[in-house]
Chain A
Amino acid sequence: MSSLELVIILPIVLGFLGYLISFLRNEFYFLGAVLNFYYALRIFLVSRKMDITKRIFEIFNFTVDKLSGFIILFISLFTFLILIYSVRYLKYYQKKKEYFYYLLLIGSISCGIVLSGNILTLILFWGILLALIFGFFQLTTKNDSEYAFVKSIFILGLSDFLLILGFSLLFVSYGNIPLNLKISFNNNLNILSFILISIGCFAKAGAMPFHSWIPEISKIMPASTMAFIPASLDKLLGIYLLIRTSYFLFDINTNLVLKNYLMIIGSITILAAVLMALIQKEAMKLLSFHAVSQVGYMVLGIGTGTPIGIAGGLFHMLNHAIYKATLFLTTGQVEYWTKETKIEKLGGLAPNMPITFSSFLISALAISGIPPLNGFFSKWMVYQGVLSLYKENNYLFPLYLLSAMLGSILTLASFLKLTHSIFLGERPKEYEKVKEVNFSLWFPSIFLAFLCVLFGILAFPLPLKGLIYPALSFLKVEPFGFWQPLLAFLLIILGIIIGVVIYFLGTVKKVEIKEIFVGGEILEEKERHFSGDQFYSPVKEIPLLSKGYEFGEEGSFDFYNYFKAIFGVISLLFKKIIDFILEFIYQKIVYLANIFGILLKKIQSGNLVDYLVAIFLGIIIIFLILIL
């Protein structure tokens, strides 16, 4: 067996052993994740040199090229880091045995999706992943989880069904084709397949209007799940498949309408989700809305069809997986001690948890697009991609650019709120004894935060030259000199040094703390607690936006509600009209049959005269028939 099979099979087998053998459980799970990573690394290194293809059972096919090589590396890396994190984080979780096994299974099956070389293999693994997610979301220990479970599985199930249908349509026309044929959009069926497949990708990645399962699932699952599925894994898979479909299976550059379709979805996702995120009062939910909003940049970048935009979209996917996973993990670290994710109850935890705070801060700055971190770099590339639409006479580009930039500003604003509310400001009394978390909890997040910095400063030599450009080798992306990350980094460091020097020169004096008097009374500490949850609440009162927020909070932008309502009405009509009418007719037939029976019974009176009359009438009728 080669690494292509081992990367999938080994975690499954070792996980199963871990599931059975209780005293070596964590060791087996750990070994499974390590071997998964090891073989993924081997596949990645081989894919640098050449593409590999392998057939199994005649109809299945595994293929590795440079794109899938680097995606698989990151999938296994995230599986590994989140397993390390979860072992400690979910120490007292009721169903942790199953949880870890599912984690490994989902990781390995995702590798299978990325390795799929033809349609049938992809359909198979995509379906298995849905089945696994179906099981995984049931591991919640929270009460009243049914709504969230049903909603998320419905959205994922429906979109996966459409995706599979899209691939099956291609299957019927072209057979079990490999995923790099560059089919042109010369007939309507191909366009339909592309749209169906893209719906599957959108729901997986969380683009609007198929996003609403992510905030919903954040209510019932622990932080590690959020960091694993919506934050990293599903982004990698959804965007990977979108790129694979748009530029390998099809060639979207031949169809302007489809490109605009992607870009419009992207822009709307960026703006609408970030506006919703701005007013959230629960940390996990706020982060989930950002997990939706950021997908917009990726879809926008991919939709531009320009080399730099596509590379930017792909790079943004990678960056997003890194910093969003960090944000969820660090929020989980805070929750680990405080058992709280409502931001009004938190505050001032930075001195207690310095490592958690620093990784949170780095990733928050990265997602807000502050140079020189990685998030800035990829957004910058996406902007450039959108700008270069000018050359193609696509005059919608200012709108796309505006929504992307506005989204970035609002992201910064909402992360100012989150950082302030959790880590800065007044600390509530009950959290005074909060300590920094254990090594196995902070290691994954600080490692990922380090990647944020690394991929930002050394963006060009490391991720772009090493991963992104080779993966998109068909595009011929030119190196560009608009932005010198290293120089910017040095300048920023210089600025910080100057700031520190000024601080120590003594021009900034220590502040004096005085009691606060309001109406002649000293405020208690509790009342002095100034939480960030009311930040930006005036946004809700801006005339046009206020209606939007009203609708948003009612769930009017949630396609699931409409879908449910439409199908509910149809089912009501079926029940009340068709079922009722048919039942009515049936009852009437039974009634008539009964009457007929009663009539027959009445004729049988036992009276000789009656029978004679009947015989006589019968004879007359027979005679009449014979004569006529």
Chain B
Amino acid sequence: MILEKNFVNPYLLFTFALPFLATLIYSLKDKEIRNWEFYLFLFLLIFSSVVIILANNLLLIYIFFEISTLASWRLVLLKRENEKAGSYLLYLNFSGAVLMLIGILLLLLENNFEKITYETFNLANISRISFIAGILISCGIFAKSAIIPFYNWLPPVYAVSPIPVVALLAGIGENLGLILFYKIFLSEIIIENLFYNFISLLAIFSSLIAGGIAYFEKEPRKILAYSTISQLSFILFGLALKEEKAIVGSLILILAHALAKPGLFYKLKAQENNVSNFGYSLLSLSLIGIPPFLGFSGKLLIILGSLQRDLFLGILAIFSSIFTLLYTLKFYPLLKKEKGENIISTSIVYIFGLLLLLLGIIALIYFWGIIL
């Protein structure tokens, strides 16, 4: 019931709304990024994201998937000296996209689409996807959501981009891949189970490895970058488990991550006072996954789903969570000392923290009652 389209689509739009609003308000105060280019590509990114969520047409989705890549590339290049990081992003995402296109073509051949018309691209017309086509399409998704082995672009981009851009990428841009995975692979489509097992195994290893590297790194921005890879892989893992519990958990975790990660980045610019520190504590607690914060519900549902499926996967998921605890506690004191001046950042950190608490309590009361 929860996973019906009427419920999920507005929910996904809602996950975009908050990081988008935060960026918009923040940009009003920051002279560095307040120019036509920023707003143009910001709106392009948002528009393409909305189309990806609402559209039911594979061709349309693919086109806007690419447009969103272009938009994020230009956003990273707002500072012209970020060329190297920007090209990382572009190359990897486009290589992924090429593979994805091949996958889509394969999919067309498999489904006997004799005449390629606009209607035949409809998601509802797809009934089965072969393993190879699935993997090829997944490559584009991996590149977008920075899942290992297509993750190299993310750390350099996070290291140099302006804060609101990083927050946009973490809150919106990278979630598009996960949303696409959800839309294509988790409806009434027949794919062999091997595909899901393969993806879930890859995703959980990706989460584990990125978590490990995050614990190794020493700079806050790098830790946050690898932490993002780890979290997104964990969400993908939940989706690929194909259990109702885990999928709901992943959808919850998308929102939790879309609030927590931009919030942590805004902490880099926030003033150092009680308000921002309080908000920051709440964000970190949600990232670790402590009840009653939103991160807890998502994470626990995914772990429970994985334990039900396979003990080995469950143990890997637990290890990944332990890494989350380790690296969060590692950067917690580092980020606390960051001194910025921006008052809007401070309030964003505070509001996002409180939202995570509030939504977490709602999720705990509402979802747990229904699902379990």
A-side residues, CB < 8 A to B, are 57-60, 120, 123-124, 126-128, 130-131, 134-135, 138, 146, 149-150, 153-154, 157-158, 160-161, 164-165, 168-169, 171-172, 175-176, 564, 567-568, 570-575, 578-579, 582-583, 586, 590
If A157-B325, A582-B149, A586-B152 touch, does A574 touch B216 (CB 8 Å cutoff)?
Answer: yes
A126 shortest CB reach to chain B, Å = 7
Q: A160 to B372: give the CA distance in the assembly, Å.
A: 21
Does B158 count as interface, using CB distance less than 8 angstroms? no
A624 to chain B, nearest CB (A): 27
Question: A172, B308: Cβ atoms under 8 Å?
Answer: yes
CB-defined contacts of B321 to chain A, threshold 8 Å: 161
Cβ contact of B333, chosen from A58, A149, A154, A564, cutoff 8 A: A149
The chain A residue sitting closest to B284, CB to CB, is A134
Given contacts A127-B292, A150-B329, A157-B325, contact A134 B91 (CB under 8 A): no
List residues of chain B with CB within 8 A of the CB of A57.
365, 369
Contact A154 B216, beta carbon cutoff 8 Å = no
Contact in complex: B300, A164 (CB < 8 Å): yes
B198 within 8 A of A: no
Q: How far is the CA of A172 from the CA of B364 in the complex (A)?
A: 15
A582 near B322 with CB under 8 A, answer: no
Q: Does B27 contact A (CB under 8 A)?
A: no
Query: Given the complex, which residues of A lie within 8 Å of B128, measured CB to CB?
Result: none
List residues of B (321-361) whose CB comes within 8 Å of A's CBs: 321-323, 325-326, 329-330, 332-333
Which residues of chain B from 270 to 313 have any CB-CB distance to chain A below 8 Å in the complex?
Answer: 277-278, 281, 285, 288-293, 296, 300, 303-304, 307-308
CA distance A341 to B303 in the complex (A): 46
Do A154 and B215 have beta carbons less than 8 Å apart? no
Report the bound CA distance from A157 to B330 in whole Å.
13
In contact, A127 and B296 (Cβ under 8 angstroms): yes
Q: Which of B91, B291, B329 contacts A128 (CB 8 A)?
A: B291
B177 at the A interface (CB under 8 A): no
Q: Contact at A575–B325, with CB atoms within 8 Å?
A: no
Residue B50 CB within 8 A of the other chain: no
List, in ascending order, chain A residues with CB within 8 A of B293's CB: 127, 131
The listed residue (B91, B292, B322, B372) touching A567 by CB distance below 8 A is: B322
**B325, A154: Cβ atoms closer than 8 Å:** yes
Taking CB atoms, residues of chain A closer than 8 Å to B365 are 57, 59-60
Could you say which residues of chain A place their CB within 8 Å of the CB of B288? 157
Contact present for A135 and B281 (CB under 8 Å)? yes
A-B contact pairs, 7 of them (CB 8 A): A128-B292, A134-B281, A150-B329, A168-B303, A567-B215, A578-B213, A582-B152
With an 8 A cutoff between CB atoms, is B113 at the interface?
A: no
User: Nearest-CB distance from B26 to chain A (Å)?
Assistant: 26
Q: Which 10 pairs, one residue from A and one from B, show the smallest C-beta to C-beta distance?
A: A127-B291, A574-B212, A571-B212, A571-B216, A571-B215, A146-B333, A575-B216, A574-B209, A150-B329, A59-B369
B368 within 8 A of A: yes
**In the complex the two chains form, is A165's CB within 8 Å of B303's CB?**
yes
- Asked if A150 contacts B332 (CB within 8 A), the reply is yes
Inter-chain contact B216/A124, CB cutoff 8 Å: no
Asked if residues B212 and A575 are in contact (CB atoms below 8 Å), the reply is yes
Chain B residues with CB below 8 A from A574, complex form: 208-209, 212-213, 216
B side interface size, CB within 8 A? 46
Chain B, residue nearest A57 (CB)? B365
B148 on the interface (CB 8 Å rule)?
yes
Chain A hits for B152, CB < 8 A: 582-583, 586
Q: How far apart are A306's CB and chain B's nearest CB, in angstroms?
A: 35
In the bound assembly, the distance between CA atoms of A135 and B323 in angstroms comes to: 21
CB distance from A239 to the nearest CB of B (A): 22
Q: Report how far A574 CA is from B217 CA in the complex, Å.
A: 11
Q: What B residues does A570 contact at CB under 8 A?
A: 212
Select from chain A the residue with minimum beta-carbon distance to B152.
A586
| Residues of the A chain whose Cβ atoms lie less than 8 Å from the Cβ of B296 | 127
Q: How far is the CA of A171 from the CA of B303 in the complex (A)?
A: 13
Q: In angstroms, how far is the closest chain A Cβ from the Cβ of B327? A: 9
In the bound complex, do residue A154 and residue B329 qualify as a contact, i.e. CB atoms below 8 Å apart? yes
Q: How far is the CB of B80 from chain A (nearest CB, A)?
A: 21
Q: Which of A124, A146, A168 contacts B304 (CB 8 A)?
A: A168
Q: Is B318 an interface residue (CB 8 A)?
A: yes
B330 touches A124 (CB 8 A): no
Interface centre among A131, A134, A564 (most CB of B within 10 A): A131
Given contacts A127-B296, A169-B307, 9 further A-B contacts (CB under 8 A): A57-B365, A146-B333, A150-B333, A168-B300, A172-B308, A172-B372, A579-B209, A582-B148, A590-B91
Given A126-B291, A172-B308, also A58-B212 (CB < 8 A): no
Enumerate chain B residues within 8 angstroms of A127, measured Cβ to Cβ: 290-293, 296
> Could you say which of A128, A158, A169, A572 contacts B322, with CB atoms under 8 Å apart?
A158
**Interface readout for B122-153 with A: 1 if CB under 8 Å, 0 if not?**
00000000000000000000000000110110
Q: Is there contact, CB below 8 Å, between B285 and A176?
A: no
Are A176 and B332 in contact, CB atoms less than 8 angstroms apart? no
B320 to chain A, nearest CB (A): 12
Chain B residues within 8 Å of A578, by CB? 148, 209, 213
For B91, the chain A residues whose CB sits under 8 A away are 590
**A120-B368, A171-B372 in contact; A161/B149 too (CB < 8 A)?**
no
Question: Contacts of A134 on B, CB cut-off 8 Å?
Answer: 281, 285, 290
A135 to B277, CA, bound (A): 10
Contact yes or no, A150 B368, CB < 8 A:
no
- In the assembled complex, the Cα of A124 lies from the Cα of B300 at a distance in Å of 12
Cα of A574 to Cα of B322 in the assembled complex, Å: 15
Contacts of A586 in B (CB 8 A): 92, 152
Q: In the complex, which residues of chain B have a beta carbon less than 8 angstroms from the beta carbon of A58? A: 369
B308 to A, closest residue via Cβ:
A172
Nearest CB on A from B332, distance (A): 7
Cβ distance A566 to chain B, nearest Cβ, rounded Å: 10
Q: Which residues of A contact B212 (CB under 8 A)?
A: 567, 570-571, 573-575
Contact A131 B290 (CB under 8 A): yes
Bound complex: CA A299 to CA B327 (Å): 33
Contacts of A154 in B (CB 8 A): 325-326, 329
* Contact residues in A for B322 (Cβ distance below 8 Å): 158, 161, 567
A160 to B290, CA, bound (A): 9
**Chain A residues, CB < 8 A from B215:** 567-568, 571
Which of these, B213, B291, B325, contacts A164 with CB under 8 Å?
A: B291
- Given the contacts A572-B216, A574-B209, A123 and B289 also touching, CB distance less than 8 Å: no
| A contact residues around B326 at 8 Å (CB) | 154, 564, 567
Most B CB atoms within 10 A — which of A176, A568, A570, A573?
A570
Cα–Cα, bound, A154→B328 (Å)? 10
Interchain nearest-CB distance for B36 vs A (Å): 32
The reply to whether A59 and B368 contact each other, CB–CB distance below 8 Å, is yes
CA of A568 to CA of B212, assembled, Å: 8
- Closest CB in chain A relative to B14 CB, distance in Å: 23
Specify which chain B residues have a CB less than 8 angstroms from the CB of A120 in the assembled complex: 364, 368
Q: A134 CA to B369 CA in the complex, in Å?
A: 28
Min CB gap A149→B, angstroms: 7
Q: Which residues of the other chain, A, contact B214 by a CB distance below 8 angstroms?
A: 571
- Chain A residues with CB under 8 A of B368: 59, 120
**With the chains together, A567 CA to B326 CA distance in Å?**
9
Question: Could you tell me the distance in whole angstroms from the C-beta of A394 to the nearest C-beta in chain B?
Answer: 32
* A137 CB → nearest B CB, Å: 11
A579 to B325, CA, bound (A): 21
Question: Which residues on the B side are within 8 Å of A579 (C-beta)?
Answer: 209, 213
Cβ contact of B289, chosen from A146, A161, A176, A564, cutoff 8 A: A161
Residues of B close to A168: CB separation below 8 A: 300, 303-304
